[in-house]
Amino acid sequence: MKLIPTDPAYPRSLNACHRDPPAIEVSGPLDTGPRCMAIIGSRKAVPGAADFAHRLAYHLAKAGITIVSGGAVGIDRCAHEGARRAGGTTWVVACVGKNGDPYPPDHAGFFDEIARDERSRMIWPFADDTEKTESTPRYRNTVLVGLSECVIVVQAHARSGSLNAANWGHEYRKPVYVVPGSPWDRSFEGSICAVVAGGQALWSIEWFFEQLDLPAPALDDPAAAWNGTRHTRTLEVRRRRRSEPIFERPISATDEASWSDDERRVFSCLSVGPTQQDDIVAKTGLGLSSTLTALLTLSLKDVVVEGPDGFFRRRNAP
């Protein structure tokens, strides 16, 4: 069935934020009542990231959230499968028209399953005969993000379509959550850039559910695990009131003994007033990459905060 922006059944969220809402072809009626969230990431997902995406989608779907993604191999597929295993709903936003050659080709059977699924849906935001080009995935991202209340990047390389989707999240003023990964892991280089660019670090499923005011997930549910991967437990914190600190005591500059030389150098260039990113790079002499990595690490340690965008300062001592 085809929906145009003036149809009562057309997704309100897409109509509200997209500059030129497209006509969309869908494999069945869209229930736009439940909340929708986009989970995206690398096609070359490391096993831990694939497992995290599957688990996160599973628990969100159990909580009634519709999972939106682009149907690519890697993180996208894991998110779709996690939602389906939970008995929930997932929407695949394609980068071709309904009658175009499926992309990726290996997912043709999977897309047919989604189209026949009573709960989930295929969404084609192009004319029926549109084939995949260099630009169609980027345009698809504008629709994928427009349908969702937030964007979750599980893993992204430096040159990544996921970063394009994250940028659209910022453009549409929607929260962007990013699993940051390790600074030395090049497969998460784009993820770290996304955090530095203003994304919020997503470091725990339990924490994320608290931010969304959702019931605590059953983290030990074995059905949440991605096939073939033994789950590595992520950092989880006890349920707490929002007014309580995560840590037993505030982290402050007195913890410098555990910092790297780069972190100390960057911190010494900051004050309680905001300093522009380029000025920090110039003062430290470390180069852009090393400076941004140190700023990210200090931000995760809660001793440095960003604001406004591109400016960093010391967090006020308690």
Per-residue model confidence (pLDDT) at position 229: 54
* Residue 50 φ then ψ, to 5°: -60, -45
pLDDT top residue among 175 and 197: 175
Range 114-131 burial, b when 16+ CB lie within 10 A, else e: beebeebbbbbbbeeebe
Residue 299 lies in a domain: yes
Cβ pair 40, 151 in contact under 8 A: yes
Residues 133, 259, single domain; the answer is no
Mean pLDDT of the chain: 88
Residue 202 lies in a domain: yes
Distance, CA of 143 to CA of 169 (rounded, Å): 11
| Chain position carrying tokens 């965008």 | 309
Per-residue model confidence (pLDDT) at position 52: 95
Residues 54, 119, single domain; the answer is yes
* Residue 78 φ then ψ, to 5°: -60, -40
Q: What is the DSSP letter of 39?
A: E
Is a pLDDT exceeding 60 seen at residue 147? yes
Is a pLDDT exceeding 50 seen at residue 291? yes
* Structural domain total, the chain: 2
Residues 171, 55, single domain; the answer is yes
Residues 267, 151, single domain; the answer is no
Residues 55, 169, single domain; the answer is yes
Per-residue model confidence (pLDDT) at position 302: 74
Residues 305, 213, single domain; the answer is no
Residues 293, 207, single domain; the answer is no
Residues 92, 203, single domain; the answer is yes
SS3 assignment, position 83: helix
Is a pLDDT exceeding 70 seen at residue 240? no
Model confidence at 41, in pLDDT bands (50, 70, 90)? very high
Per-residue model confidence (pLDDT) at position 316: 65
Cβ pair 145, 165 in contact under 8 A: yes
Find, among 192, 144, 209, 153, the residue nearest to 172 by Cα. Answer: 144
Residue 230 lies in a domain: no
Instruction: Encode pLDDT of 65-114 as tens digits.
Output: 999 999 999 999 999 999 999 999 999 999 999 999 999 999 999 999 99
* Residue 51 φ then ψ, to 5°: -65, -40
Residues 216, 270, single domain; the answer is no
Give the domain extent around 52. 2-224
Residues 286, 198, single domain; the answer is no
Residue 232 lies in a domain: no
Residues 113, 161, single domain; the answer is yes
